[in-house]
Amino acid sequence: MSWISASAPHSTASANKSHLDPCSSGTGAVQWVQKHEPAHSSVISPMAGIDHEIESNDYRSFAQFDVVQDFSDHHYANSSPGKKLFHAFLIDNNWIILVDCSETIYVRVYEQRMDLLRAAIVGPAGTPYHDGLFFFDVRFPSDYPKCPPKVHYHSGGLRLNPNLYESGKVCLSLLNTWWGNGCEKWAKSNSTMLQVLVSIQGLVLNDKPYFNEPGNKNSTKTAVGEKNSLAYNQTAFILSCKTMLYSLRKPPKHFETLVACHFIEREHVILESCGAYLSGTIVGSSVRNGTKYACDKCFADFTKSLAIYTEQLRTEFASNNIRILELEKEASSADEIVPAS
């Protein structure tokens, strides 16, 4: 039986080299995944923010890169910082590289802890992670760049990708957390933090993450493999929705503005996608003319769960709108205060 009514518009392609290697049990060769250009359903427009720690009075933008102070909620906050001047110089140069990062990657570094970094990655379009926000805490070890940075994923206890563990572990050969050959591994002479972030966005958060799992490569382009991949994408999207709820309810420090503005801007697209998936559109397909499942009954559990999370998202988006309106009103009132002459 065919599980879809037509071929999906996105597919996993084989490539000779990649930094994607899932940490998981299994045998057989690793499925290399072709890097995506991170296209997205929408772009965040300037809006009022809710991050009261922004030092300027402009609440209408969120910079791709910035230096902040408080690192108390960082995963590696209690680690001992490196004290070598050369080490600090190398990290400072990494900051310069990150200033030019993708429009869908946001970075905050810490003035008092140059060895720490936090990044938010927007899930790519055409994948089960589309329009989501995914947060990562990074620590540069004292022997950096000889050794790669340590990366922790804010999982919320969810396993939404073979490479992203519930514990927060990120499996990537570029991070030396999985095997790899040659340029697949970290190289102190040319590997960068930006390369790590782009690899996570383009290679880990791909359109068919099921095939990231070792042992699943042999089932590519088979009826069983494609069926399992479709089912995995459904689960991944449900977990992505749960991650959205977590972020809205408790955004990471210094990213409150991004979370609020991102979901204000994309809530319609997200809810429209949920509606399309409930009507049988394949997860990650175009909402208006995407591929449909040929056998809807096979995915009854998915639609039941999605209906629940769609309503939870709708409620949380409404609360987010109210918070933004209240803060806009507060900011407007503050602007109208005229100091006495």
Q: Is it the case that residue 130 has pLDDT exceeding 50?
A: yes
Q: Which residues are catalytic?
A: 171
Backbone angles phi, psi at 116, to 5 degrees: -115, 155
CA distance 78 to 87: 19
Under the banding of pLDDT at 50, 70 and 90, the label for residue 339 is low
Least-confidence region, from 144-153, 287-296, 301-310, 327-336: 287-296
Over residues 245-260, the pLDDT tens digits come to 999 999 999 999 999 9
Angle at 175 between CA 169 and CA 179, to 5 degrees: 95
CA 311 to chain centre: 22
Helix (H, G, I), strand (E, B) or coil at 108: strand
Q: Are 134 and 229 in contact (CB under 8 A)?
A: no
Give Cβ neighbours of residue 326 (< 8 Å, ≥ 6 apart): none
Cis peptide bond N-terminal to 124, omega within 30: no
Report domain extents, the chain: 65-336
How large is the average pLDDT for residues 133-139? 98
Angle, helix 300-336 to helix 223-249, in steps of 10 degrees:
30
Q: Is it the case that residue 39 has pLDDT exceeding 50?
A: no
User: DSSP letters along 131-169, please?
Assistant: T-EEEEEEE--TTTTTSPPEEEE--TT---BTTB-TTSB
What DSSP element (H or E) covers 62? Answer: none
Q: Which two tokens stand for residue 254?
A: 């210094």
- Supply the mean pLDDT for the chain: 80
Instruction: Give the start-end residues of each E strand in the chain.
Output: 65-68, 105-110, 113-122, 133-139, 150-153
Q: Is it the case that residue 3 has pLDDT exceeding 60?
A: no
CA distance 218 to 211: 9
Least-confidence region, from 7-21, 210-224, 305-319: 7-21
- Nearest residue to 152 (alpha-carbon basis) of 168, 129, 174: 168
Under the banding of pLDDT at 50, 70 and 90, the label for residue 106 is very high
Look up the CATH number of domain 65-336: 3.10.110.10
Over residues 147-206, the pLDDT tens digits come to 999 999 999 999 999 999 999 999 999 999 877 777 779 998 889 899 999 999 999 999
Q: Which two tokens stand for residue 186?
A: 């970290």
Over residues 203-236, the pLDDT tens digits come to 999 999 999 988 888 888 888 999 999 999 999 9
CA distance 188 to 210: 31
Q: What is the pTM of this model?
A: 0.80
Determine the pLDDT at residue 337: 63
